[in-house]
Each structure stands twice: as C-alpha cells, then as structure tokens.
Amino acid sequence: MPRKARVVHRALLRKGFRTTESSHRRYRYFRLSGERTNVFTVTSHGSDRDINNHLLGQMARQLHLSRRQFDDLIDCRLSQADYEAMLRRDGFIR
C-alpha cells in the first residue's frame, strides 16, 4: 500500500535518522550516539507525494529490513531500540 512521503520521513526522523541533501535526493542516515552509520535510504524531494510499493520495498532493503519490518518501523510497532538491536545482531552497526 502506498504511503505519504511526509509520514515516512517523519517516522524515520523519530527513529534516529537524520537528513543530508544533495541537488536531487535526500539521504536519510541512521545515527547512533550522534555518529552517522552506513545505514541509509534515499528519497526524492517530493514531500507531498505518495511513495509507491516498489520504492517502499527498495527503502526497506536499503535499511536491511523486510517490507513488513519497514512498515512496523514506520507505524511505531518496531522501536528504535529494537531496530538498533537487529542492526547489531546482523553486523550492520557495532
């Protein structure tokens, strides 16, 4: 199911992501203890648009999540602490 871009972006900000912008894209990096990690996703600048299922799936893969886990992250069923634990367990962060 498509989601509003602003809803996804706000949810990521609440989960420890911060934004870095280039001319055409926004990079959302996961931060741990104030330090930028290698975990990130890319979005376009359109904030009022819907993000389609294909792009949501790509974002989930970039964040090392299944699509269901990504939806849980956005809908606050997966906490930041649980997400960090998953990334640590799978070796994506230390």
pLDDT digits (tens, 9 = 90+) for 24-48: 667 888 888 888 899 999 876 666 7
Residue 94 lies in a domain: no
Say how many domains are in the chain. Answer: 1
**CATH code of the domain in which 69 resides:** 3.30.920.30
Q: Is 62 left (phi over 0), alpha (psi -120 to 50) or beta?
A: alpha
Residue 40 lies in a domain: yes
Predicted local distance difference test score (pLDDT) of residue 46: 62
Segments of the chain scoring below 70 in pLDDT: 23-25, 44-47
Mean pLDDT of the chain: 89
In b/e form, how buried is each residue of 23-55, taking b as 16+ CB within 10 angstroms?
eeebebbbebeeeebebebebeeeeeeebeeeb
pTM over 0.85: yes
